[in-house]
Amino acid sequence: MYSNLWLIPFFPLVGAIFNGLFGKKIKNEAVIGGIATGLMFLSFLVAAQNFIKLLGDSEKVHELVLASWITVGNFHLNWELLLDPLSAVMIMVVTGVGTLIHLYSIGYMHGEVGFYRFFSYMNLFAFSMLMLVLGGNALVMFVGWEGVGLCSYLLIGYYYEKKSASTAANKAFIVNRVGDFGFLCGLFTLFWALASKGVWTLNFVKIAESGHLLESGGLLVTVVTLCFFLGATGKSAQIPLFTWLPDAMEGPTPVSALIHAATMVTAGVYMIGRMNGLFAMAPATMMTIAIVGGLTAFFAATIGLAQNDIKRVLAYSTVSQLGYMFLAMGVGAFSAGIFHLMTHAFFKACLFLGSGSVIHGMHHAYHHAHLHDDPQDMRNMGGLRKKMPITFITFLVSTIAISGIPLFSGFFSKDEILWWSFGSTRGHWMLWVLGAAAAGMTAFYMFRLVFMTFFGEQKTDSRAKDHIPESPFTITIPLMVLGLLAVIGGYIGIPAVLGGSNRFEHFLAPVFEHAQHLNEIHAHGSHATEYTLMAISVAIAIVGIFTAWVMYIKNPELPAKFVAKYSRAHRVIFNKWYIDELYEAVFVVPCKRIGTFLWKDVDVKVVDGVVNGCAWVVKGLGTGLRYTQSGYLYNYAMAMVVGVVVIVGFFVF
């Protein structure tokens, strides 16, 4: 039936290995990029075929066992894949967006020394991500989970000669590892809890089936889900583990688009969706998730207000949007969360690629003029809409989408989330306030970005300003496709209140409905309330856009005054609430101190002190006794004779 499922991750793996081994010899960029992109596209085709098949299939959950993996005692684990509506959506997003970004990269990475390396890593990433979403048990998922972490590490550190890049890569991996610690603890607890009930499994389907063995709302299931959530915060850059994502912008821009916007960072959301049965059973965890998600959405948005680096703004925007998804998961709006995941993948990938296009152009211009200004600093941009029309239009469309303006994709998904956070049985009006405030700020800083970059006067150095070209077609085609998706992507999930049938939710229902039903999670409230909330959120977004227009188009001197007036607040926000410094002081420095202490004091002084002390005692005794050893032959001989006499005497007398 779905036996060709394994081909989906297999194609990128082949690409990764091929380019990794032979890319250096091939040298031809078209061949390397073509292979990588082509294999991604093949993978997309297989994914689409399976997706369509699943659409028409009444049986929605399919497992495919590839091989056995670990067999120890009662513990048996397979390499197995799982196709259900949830993973079907995910593979479509991953392979689809992935193919576009691969195509984009051919143009963007042109002329790089490590061209083959880049594509090898990208394909490896696609492979890992597909393993993550297709994994049929928690451990296969974890392989993908760590695999994407690895690729993220490799790609962030792609410019490894830059210290900041390699440091950012390390930070990303290590912070993710903190999350993995949670993931593993959750896995162990879950497995042990189930095994003690007689079910030795990590298989998702079986976990879902035997979830009822655990006490609903009990301590155990809360601990398990909290541990998993810690894992999710690491991968999806939520409070408290979000600090790595902005730094991860050291990687090439397509990487930011694919990994740090569209796919990998959403893995945490996907994972919660995958285990929704367990999460639904733990209201305390759900509440934690909702609060953390809401707070992340809010805080990241505040930081985004003040950044000047085009990619950093997008990075904080990503963190903020991920916060939305977690908010959705936390209030039980699983399908809304996944929906937002998908639309976010479209418009955020488009935004990142658009920013990449801008950076590409700026870089080109600076290179031409032999300048070394920062091509990512928005203060050097402005008025680019005439120079890069395609980039501008797609970028604008995506910005509108992320701001939640009606008829664009972001509106549908975001409003669904806001509605659930207000009306769900697990929701609360304060969560809605957080979400709405974040939405307003999002609209503000995204349009600030657009206005600073594409409108107004051109602030680029005069020597470079005339050399900014529109990007080549390998870059613009993905932009156009993604821009289109950012517009229409929302129409598959028009909620019932707007006259739609929300086909997306129906499609995902087999995965989520059971748990939602079992734990009485549903949104309630009249249509009037829903309309009102919708109107308010749209109004907030428009206010945000208007403010941005006032501050950056109408009165360009206003922001400076504003900063001067609230300098302290600005400094805090500009420096990201000093979270990095806090972590440095609380974790990194003590850790190093303890390490040094354990080494220099405990190891060298105490432990080795005891050991060497023993040696000294023996040596001291020896020093005393060595005076009995004259070294003269006859003294030894005499000692021997004395011995003989004594022994013989002993026997004789």
**Binding residues for another protein restricted to 464-523, rule: CB under 8 A:** none
Cβ count near 19 (within 10 Å) = 27
Interface with another protein includes 153 (CB under 8 A)? yes
Shortest CB 189 distance to another protein, Å: 7
Please report, as residue ranges, which positions from 217 to 246 form the binding site for another protein (by CB under 8 A).
220
Question: 22, 34, 170, 542: which one contacts another protein (CB under 8 A)?
Answer: 170
User: Taking a C-beta distance cutoff of 8 angstroms, is the pair 101, 118 a contact?
Assistant: no
Stretch that binds another protein, among 57-65, 164-172, 328-336, 541-549 (CB under 8 A): 164-172
For residue 616, state whether it binds another protein (rule: CB under 8 A): no
Applying CB under 8 A, which part among 98-106, 191-199, 392-400, 557-565 lies near another protein?
A: 191-199
- When binding is defined by CB under 8 A, the residue of 2, 6, 22, 69 that contacts another protein is 69
Angle, CA 402 vertex, CA 347 and CA 575 arms, to 5°: 105
**Pick from 37, 189, 222, 391: which binds another protein (CB under 8 A)?**
189
Beta strands in 486-569 (DSSP E): none
Give the one residue of 30, 56, 59, 198 binding another protein; rule: CB under 8 A.
Answer: 198
**167 touching another protein, by CB under 8 A:** yes
SS (H, E, C) 357-390: HHHHHHHHHHHHCCCCCCCCEHHHCCCCCCCCHH
Q: Quick one: which of 121, 191, 507, 512 contacts another protein (CB under 8 A)? A: 191
Q: Decide whether 177 or 459 has the Cβ nearer to another protein.
A: 177
Q: How far is CA 322 from the centre of its chain?
A: 9
Q: Which residues pair with 203 in a beta bridge?
A: 137
| Interacting residues of 476 by C-beta distance below 8 A, sequence separation 6+ | 357, 390, 391, 470
Dihedral angle computed from the Cα positions of residues 412, 416, 417 and 418, in that order, rounded to the nearest 10 degrees: 100
Q: How far is CA 13 from CA 17, 40, 56, 128, in A?
A: 6, 10, 29, 8
Sites for another protein among residues 23-52 (CB under 8 A): 24
Q: How far is CA 83 from CA 131, 224, 404, in A?
A: 11, 24, 31
Q: Is 142 in the site for another protein (CB under 8 A)?
A: yes
State the Cα–Cα distance between residues 511 and 241, nearest whole angstrom. Answer: 28
At its nearest, how many Å lie between another protein and the CB of residue 364?
24
312-371: contacts with another protein (CB under 8 A)? none
185 part of the interface to another protein, by CB under 8 A: yes
DSSP-derived secondary structure letter, 137: B
Nearer residue to another protein within complex by CB, 56 or 73? 73
Rounded to a whole number of angstroms, the CA Rg of the chain reads: 30
Quick check: 608 binds another protein (CB under 8 A)? Answer: yes
CB 430 to another protein: min, Å = 33
Residue 70: strand, helix, or coil: strand
Side chain identity at residue 66, one-letter code:
L
The residue (of 205 and 220) whose beta carbon lies closer to another protein is 220
Nearer to another protein (CB atom), residue 546 or residue 583: 583
Cα separation, 407 vs 389, whole angstroms: 22
Q: From the list 26, 184, 405, 498, which residue makes contact with another protein (rule: CB under 8 A)?
A: 184
Q: Which of 46, 139, 265, 282 binds another protein (CB under 8 A)?
A: 139
Token output for 516:
């939602």
Structure tokens at 308: 């000047």
Q: Are 100 and 31 in contact (CB under 8 A)?
A: no
Closest separation in Å from C-beta 170 to another protein: 5
Between 103 and 148, CB nearer to another protein:
148
Given 6, 22, 181, 455, the residue binding another protein (CB under 8 A)? 181
Give the interface segment with another protein, choosing from 140-148, 262-270, 319-327, 362-370 (CB under 8 A): 140-148
CA 446 to chain CA centroid, Å, is 21
- Kindly tell me which residue out of 4, 28, 68, 575 binds another protein, with binding defined by CB under 8 A: 68
Query: Residues binding another protein: what is the number (CB under 8 A)?
Result: 79
